[in-house]
Amino acid sequence: MESTMGTQTRVAIITGSSRGIGQAIARRLAKDGFSVVVNYAGNAENARATVADIEATGGRAIAVQADVADEVAVAAMFDRAEREFGGIDVVVNSAGLMVLGTIADFNLADLDRMHRTNIRGTFVVTQQAARRVRSGGAILNVSTSAERQALPTYGAYAASKGAVEALNLILARELRGRDITVNTVAPGPVATDLFLDGKDAATVDRIAKLNPMERLGKPDDIAEVVSFLAGPARWINGQVIYANGGMN
């Protein structure tokens, strides 16, 4: 893809990008020529390491701490991106929290924590993105294929991501005339710490075989889809893209 709009370097903010899928997205967009804001909530060491990796390959990046649900901190992060790099072209909502449990027994405190990060956090970041992303840009959310699989114990998590998907086409239509696309990527199971936590080898193997590729996704698989939607895919708008190896 082209890494500039004319002579203007493109700029991306990726939330939750100190590890996992978000980190892979940050590295991929930097490889594509973006200047990257690596957002993190608490893991400053990982965020700095991600920035160092990007800079080691000739890219530009900064690490910015912000709780995605805190509108003041998020506005300050967008301010920082504009000061450092001159503007914002792509925003990827990758920060997320997953807690599993049956609906009947689910801890409501965990539900509130997921709501704060997955729903409020996505909304707060998207609100700033809708105000500030430049013409020709893209706003991208990360959801989950678990919503379509309807797997037991995923109810609360899938519900939080369903709310994220509900914003998708509405925002695309609200941004009519501004040449900004809005899309959501819905990964299947991906081999990240978030997914693997608490699962034994037999469970992981069973889930991996739910798709005809018979493997878990890799963070780079999802980053590749985001790269496409952030760059050349200007005629894809308001869509949910399922990146799951054919699981559903």
Going from N- to C-terminal start, the domains of the chain cover 8-243
User: Which CATH code is given to the segment(s) 8-243?
Assistant: 3.40.50.720
Catalytic-labelled residue, pool 40, 154, 157, 242: 157
| Among 4, 24, 3, CA closest to 193 | 24
Residue in 107, 188, 91, 95 with CA at minimum distance from that of residue 153: 107
User: What global pTM score does this model have?
Assistant: 0.93
Dump pLDDT digits (tens) for 46-81: 999 999 999 999 999 999 999 999 999 999 999 999
Angstrom distance (rounded) from CA 24 to CA 29: 9
Contacts with 200 (C-beta within 8 Å, 6 or more apart), sequence order: none
| 8-9 and 4-5 strand pairing | antiparallel
Positive or negative CA dihedral for 84, 25, 240, 67? Answer: negative
pLDDT score of 7? 52
Distances (CA, A) of 101 to 71, 152, 195: 29, 8, 14
Strands laid side by side in the 60-65 sheet: 60-65, 35-40, 11-14, 90-93, 138-142, 181-187, 240-243
Residues in CB range of 106: below 8 A, 6 or more apart: 155, 156
Q: Is 242 a catalytic residue?
A: no
CA distance 240 to 24: 20
Q: Give me the tens of pLDDT residue by residue for the chain, a chain 248 residues long.
A: 344 444 578 999 999 999 999 999 999 999 999 999 999 999 999 999 999 999 999 999 999 999 999 999 999 999 999 999 999 999 999 999 999 999 999 999 999 999 999 999 999 999 999 999 999 999 999 999 988 888 899 999 999 999 999 999 999 999 999 999 999 999 988 988 877 777 888 988 888 888 999 899 899 999 999 999 999 999 999 999 999 999 87
Nearest of 242, 201, 248, 226 to residue 15 by alpha carbon? 226
